[in-house]
Amino acid sequence: MIDQKVLIIDDDVDLLQLASLIFKKAGAKVITANDGLDGISKFFTHHPNLIILDVMMPGNNGFDVCQRIRQVSDDPLIMLTALNQEQDMLQGLAAGADDFLTKPFNPEILLARAITVLRRTQRPNGHNGNNGSNGHNGNKASFSYNDGNLSIDIERHEVLIHGKRVKLTPMEFRLLAYLARNAGKLLTFEKILVNVWGNDYRGNMEHVHVFISHLRRKIEKKPKNPHYIQTVHGIGYIFEEQDLGYKT
């Protein structure tokens, strides 16, 4: 992480010291803030490459800070939560977080997660292109999908529903692109984790479930009765192509 700037925002002094040491040893420049307001100020002052953000803080909590940052930046952001509840992950995802880590955490895991989210910003979204059908281009670099309702354009990093742009976080877009590229294939939870998040995330099934849930809320008319992202219970998910001209 040489030459990377990491902003850590947390009101826990001990955690700030521990996290700072982790990233400094990895070669990063570390900026710390002990509340949300100070964190926002230092974000605009230092323009970090990565933000580590606690959920529970006095005043501006982590969700508020994340939303403010996302108004102006797509820089990688990892939220720390002591609650380990799906609802908190959903709220953080809605605010624009790229990843979550539950306290107390293993320092090596925090560093590995940080390196992974930074790496994602430096390479194209998704993996494993397919031959494409039903209105989409199978070329990995220029993949697109369009059924008359949902449109996905990798090159333009754009998703439309009925011609209206849908705002996705970088991770949501990466997940949707991977699913759509592999339309019609059963993708296990583990396969999705490895290809979308990376090897360091093996076993973290909650990441897949939470991000799929929130993605459905954005692209499906009826998230509890989805057309696109189908669940194969206990195994994984399948992206189902719709006929051209499909309307929700």
User: What percent of the chain is modeled with pLDDT above 70?
Assistant: 88
Kindly state whether residue 27 falls inside one of the protein's structural domains. yes
The reported pTM is 0.70
CA distance linking residue 206 with residue 86, whole number of Å: 8
pLDDT of residue 2: 85
Q: Work out how many domains the chain is built from and give that number.
A: 2
CA distance linking residue 189 with residue 213, whole number of Å: 14
120 with 244: CB under 8 angstroms?
no
Residues 105 and 194 in one domain: no
Residues 161 and 235 in one domain: yes
194 with 188: CB under 8 angstroms?
no
Residues 162 and 103 in one domain: no
Q: Mind listing the pLDDT tens digit for each residue in 122-154?
A: 644 433 333 333 455 444 556 889 998 999 998
pLDDT bucket at 245, cuts 50 / 70 / 90: low
- DSSP 8-state class, residue 58: S
Range of the domain at 78: 5-120
Residues 167 and 223 in one domain: yes
Q: Mind listing the pLDDT tens digit for each residue in 158-190?
A: 999 999 999 888 788 989 999 999 999 999 999
Residues 92 and 167 in one domain: no
pLDDT of residue 126: 39
Kindly state whether residue 216 falls inside one of the protein's structural domains. yes
Q: Mind listing the pLDDT tens digit for each residue in 193-211?
A: 989 888 877 777 878 888 8
Give the sign of the dihedral formed by CA 33, CA 36, CA 41, CA 47.
positive
Secondary structure (H, E, C), 103-170: CCCCHHHHHHHHHHHHHHCCCCCCCCCCCCCCCCECCCCCCEEECCCEEEECCCCEEEECCEECCCCH
pLDDT of residue 38: 94
The better pLDDT of the pair 54, 132 is held by 54
Residues 116 and 150 in one domain: no
Kindly state whether residue 128 falls inside one of the protein's structural domains. no
Domain of 234, CATH number, reads 1.10.10.10
Look at residue 215 and tell me whether its pLDDT is greater than 80: yes
Residues 51 and 114 in one domain: yes
CA distance linking residue 46 with residue 130, whole number of Å: 41
Domain of 102, CATH number, reads 3.40.50.2300
Kindly state whether residue 193 falls inside one of the protein's structural domains. yes
CA distance linking residue 146 with residue 242, whole number of Å: 9
Q: What is the mean pLDDT of residues 112-124?
A: 77
Kindly state whether residue 103 falls inside one of the protein's structural domains. yes
Lowest mean pLDDT among 55-59, 109-113, 175-179: 55-59
Give the sign of the dihedral formed by CA 106, CA 68, CA 14, CA 12.
negative
49 with 6: CB under 8 angstroms?
yes
